[in-house]
């Protein structure tokens, strides 16, 4: 079983990680090409490209000027502990045991606009590059074309080594679109989280993102290998809703 999640815009490179163990990203050569292209963009151009504030544009301009290889614990941090935001609040990596981290390293993958795909202990340097950013490179009009089948092929190889060949999709649509689900040729289960508001159940971004993180932690902490056990997830009031679920889109409701 492989779990996929999205990265976070919020980063923390100051707090200490639970472990000193680390690995290196698999596609730094491709990341280097993206950084080379991004360095051509002035802060105003980054502001327009990424649709961010002038302050964030200046911050990320500096990040890309300072980005350099090779990565080491002195200039980088493991992805799982560097990313913050709602999904990672739900995962709460700072309270993970070493066994949890080892399980996550094998089963959890983080999709990334700059790094392509990350294992939890892969070192990263600070960046902001959402997968949906229309960054042009050579003959590629955006990051989806840039990464092409690279991420899909990696997951195919990893799933071939997993009993049951099951993918748990806890990524946002923006990042999931970077994969070719048909080529994956595997069972893909997509949990959806909905809260009751104004008379109906809806996906509310802040709560839904955190719930993705909570389920990720549930899968890791309980060493889930049988997908049916996902239906036992009941963190913070969410429960599996059989009536609203259809096929492998499993809906969890609250309220």
Range of the domain at 182: 2-24+74-254
Tell whether 52 is covered by a domain. Answer: no
pLDDT in tens, 31-43: 999 999 999 999 9
pLDDT in tens, 139-183: 999 999 999 999 999 999 999 988 889 999 999 999 999 999 999
Residue 196: predicted pLDDT: 95
Residue 59: predicted pLDDT: 98
Q: Taking the model in full, what pTM does it have? A: 0.97
Residue 163: predicted pLDDT: 82
Q: Which residues of 142-157 are buried (b: 16+ CB within 10 A; e: fewer)?
A: ebbebbeeebbebbbe
Residue 162: predicted pLDDT: 86
Tell whether 31 is covered by a domain. Answer: no
Tell whether 226 is covered by a domain. Answer: yes
Number of domains in the chain: 1
What radius of gyration do the chain's Cα atoms show? 18
Nearest 5°: CA angle at 111, between 170 and 60? 125
Which parts of the chain have pLDDT scores under 70? none
Tell whether 194 is covered by a domain. Answer: yes
Tell whether 89 is covered by a domain. Answer: yes
């Amino acid at each position: 079983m492989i779990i996929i999640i999205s990265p976070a815009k919020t980063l923390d490179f100051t707090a200490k990680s639970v472990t000193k163990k680390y690995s290196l990203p698999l596609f730094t050569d491709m990341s280097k090409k993206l950084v080379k292209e991004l360095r051509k963009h002035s802060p105003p151009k980054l502001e327009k490209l990424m649709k961010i504030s002038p302050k964030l544009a200046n911050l990320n301009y500096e990040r890309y000027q300072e980005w350099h290889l090779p990565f080491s614990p002195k200039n980088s941090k493991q992805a799982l502990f560097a990313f913050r935001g709602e999904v990672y609040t739900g995962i709460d990596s700072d309270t993970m045991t070493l066994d949890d981290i080892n399980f996550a390293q094998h089963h959890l993958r983080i999709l990334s606009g700059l790094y392509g795909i990350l294992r939890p202990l892969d070192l990263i340097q600070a960046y902001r590059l959402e997968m949906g950013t229309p960054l042009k490179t050579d003959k590629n009009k955006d990051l989806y074309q840039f990464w092409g089948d690279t991420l899909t092929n990696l997951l195919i190889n990893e799933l071939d080594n997993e009993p049951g060949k099951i993918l748990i999709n806890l990524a946002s649509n923006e990042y999931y679109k970077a994969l070719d689900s048909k080529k994956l040729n595997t069972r893909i289960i997509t949990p959806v989280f909905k809260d009751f508001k104004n008379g109906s159940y809806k996906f509310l971004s802040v709560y839904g993102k955190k719930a993705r993180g909570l389920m990720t932690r549930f899968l890791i902490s309980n060493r889930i290998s049988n997908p049916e056990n996902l239906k036992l997830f009941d963190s913070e009031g969410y429960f599996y809703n059989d009536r609203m679920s259809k096929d492998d889109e499993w809906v969890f409701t609250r309220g």
